[in-house]
Amino acid sequence: MAGAIASATLFAFTASAQDRLSLADRVARLEQQNQANSGTTQLVNQVNDLQQQVAQLQGQIEELQHQNQQLQDSQKAQYADVDSRLGRLEKGGAPAGQPTAAAGGGQPPAPAAANTPAPPQQAAAGPAPAGTAAGGGNPGAASPAEQAAYDAAFKSLRGGDYVTASRGFRDFLVKYPDSALAPNAYYWLGESYYVTMNYQVAIEAFQRLVKNFPQSDKVSDGLLKVGYCQIELKQQDAAIATLKQVSAKYPGTKAAGLAQERLRRLQRQTAN
């Protein structure tokens, strides 16, 4: 009898111990599963974060591509504008009824033909003949040296080599600051910067023309291009003031007409 009781007690103790071990194993397995699930959740969250970052980067790339395309379109339009005007210059002027300068307004220069040297008495560029003072206070024709230096710079501009053209016009103005061709040199120097989208430098060239040669026929064109540069630089208030100045000071000119048209466009953009 005592043996039977002892056996039963031992069996019950062994079963209880086994139950406790089984429970501990189950708890351990549950903890492992929980840790695994936690790691999976963190991984999923990290993947979601990465997907959001990729989407943001993709949006930024698309925006940059759009801006780059706009810049390319703007540059192509400016190149086409200069090529068109220079093409008309090579032919001796624009057809009747059409403006002679698509962006600058006013009368364009009349350069010599590409393979025919210009006589010293004929200006290669500018609204006024070289025998008169293009700047308003310097009578006399350009010297052969002045004419040659100017023609070389203008030839580079006409050929689309705007870097060489700007360098040539700068050198010309350093050597011949009082030349009858100086106003036109300043204007085309500004154009060489404008067409390559160096708007701030272009403004400086056009402003020097306006300040140093107030009587020149190119002043209205130069002031108009100051306004255009200010538009490109997002200086809208300054641009509006400049374009109004062109319209008020030079009524009836092509520059004034172009200024009024650009003002109307700016007002429509503001309204929208």
Spatial separation of the C-alpha atoms in residues 146 and 243, rounded to whole Å: 33
| Domains of the chain by start residue, with CATH | 91-271 (1.25.40.10)
Do the Cβ atoms of 134 and 177 come closer than 8 Å? no
The residue type at 203: I
Residue 250 tokens read as 């030079």
- The pLDDT score that the predictor gives to residue 82 is 57
Spatial separation of the C-alpha atoms in residues 225 and 254, rounded to whole Å: 13
Q: Is 8 exposed, middle or buried (0-12, 13-18, 19+ CB in 10 A)?
A: exposed
Whole-model pTM: value is 0.54
Spatial separation of the C-alpha atoms in residues 193 and 232, rounded to whole Å: 13
- The pLDDT score that the predictor gives to residue 34 is 74
| pLDDT tens for each residue of the chain, 272 residues long | 666 665 656 555 565 656 666 777 777 777 777 777 777 777 777 777 776 676 656 555 655 554 554 455 555 455 555 555 555 554 544 333 333 333 333 333 333 333 333 333 333 333 333 333 333 334 357 899 999 999 999 999 999 999 999 999 999 999 999 999 999 999 999 999 999 999 999 999 999 999 999 999 999 999 999 999 999 999 999 999 999 999 999 999 999 999 999 999 988 877 76
Which residues, 6 or more positions from 86, have their beta carbon under 8 angstroms from its beta carbon? 157, 158
- The pLDDT score that the predictor gives to residue 169 is 97
Spatial separation of the C-alpha atoms in residues 238 and 231, rounded to whole Å: 8
